[in-house]
């Protein structure tokens, strides 16, 4: 099987709490993409990082999921990004991964951002976020999760770690450093897709969408404060070769995370 995987990350501004405008804008950006295996969208790509969870939540058969299924089938690519989903009476910041077949995997954000009140508006996720796509093992994470190395620790032998985010400008140096650190310590490709623009809470986002390899080397990074479709091809064979040559993960600590 081909060991390469091509991913396109959309660094874009978002319309505050306006699903229709966001989906229309993103549809045009996805339509313009060349052939790719994966399209990645920012955190809460239909609304921006809002705490109006109950008001804006959809279920798993809602318009946003159907929109993602449409574009995944049309582009024959997985579509991934987080949105507001209500399930079993709780509202989650849910990272949806929609396969070209229409099958859906998801990860519910575990570390809700208490500083902004996200922990009051959204339930804490309990699933591990490990999915399989095109012979790749992928770990899905959302924004604030990047600060917690134990939660991201590569005890699953994943190949690729993906963060979807609304990460503000005033702490963007943390974002840059943490993404690189997560790549190095887990010996995995690491991708962070962040939005640009200013939201309804008057927070500014500069982007810094980036791809890092398993040694923490920068593969590509988007221009700050500009909309951009960043496309990069990853190679699994080279990852495996380096892990064989430098078997650091064999010495990782064993642990159990309490809920």
Catalytic positions:
43, 109, 143
Place of tokens 């951002």: 113
Residue 187: both structure tokens together: 């010996």
Please name the residues in contact with 214: beta carbons below 8 A apart, sequence gap of 6 or more: 183, 186, 187, 188, 189, 239, 242, 243
H-run or E-run covering 68: helix 63-75
Contact 12, 227 (CB under 8 A): yes
2 vs 191: CA distance, rounded Å = 20
Of 44, 150, 143, 23, nearest to 91 by C-alpha is 44
230 vs 203: CA distance, rounded Å = 23
Pairing of strands 228-235, 4-11: antiparallel
Burial 16-52 (b: 16+ CB within 10 A, else e): ebebeebbebbeebbeeeeebbbbbbbbbbbbbbbee
């Amino acid at each position: 099987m081909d060991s390469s995987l091509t991913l396109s990350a959309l660094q874009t501004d978002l319309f505050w709490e306006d699903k229709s405008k966001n989906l229309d804008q993103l549809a045009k950006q996805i339509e313009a993409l060349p052939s790719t295996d994966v399209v990645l969208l920012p955190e809460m790509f239909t609304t921006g990082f809002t705490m109006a969870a109950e008001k804006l939540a959809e279920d798993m058969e809602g318009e946003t999921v159907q929109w993602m299924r449409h574009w995944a089938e049309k582009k024959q690519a997985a579509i991934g990004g987080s949105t507001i989903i209500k399930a079993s009476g709780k509202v989650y910041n849910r990272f949806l991964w929609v396969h070209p077949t229409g099958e859906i995997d998801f990860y519910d954000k575990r570390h809700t951002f208490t500083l902004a009140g996200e922990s009051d508006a959204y339930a804490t996720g309990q699933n591990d976020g490990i999915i399989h796509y095109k012979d790749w093992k992928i770990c899905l994470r959302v924004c604030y999760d990047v600060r917690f190395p134990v939660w991201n620790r590569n005890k699953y032998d994943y190949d690729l770690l993906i963060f979807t985010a609304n990460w503000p400008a005033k702490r963007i140096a943390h974002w840059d450093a943490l993404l690189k650190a997560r790549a190095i310590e887990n010996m995995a490709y690491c991708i962070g897709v962040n939005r640009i623009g200013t939201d309804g809470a008057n927070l500014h986002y500069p982007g810094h969408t980036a791809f890092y390899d398993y040694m923490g080397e920068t593969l590509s990074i988007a221009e700050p404060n500009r909309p951009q479709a960043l496309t990069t091809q990853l190679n699994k064979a080279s990852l495996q070769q380096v892990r064989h040559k430098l078997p650091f993960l064999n010495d990782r600590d064993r642990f159990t995370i309490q809920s």
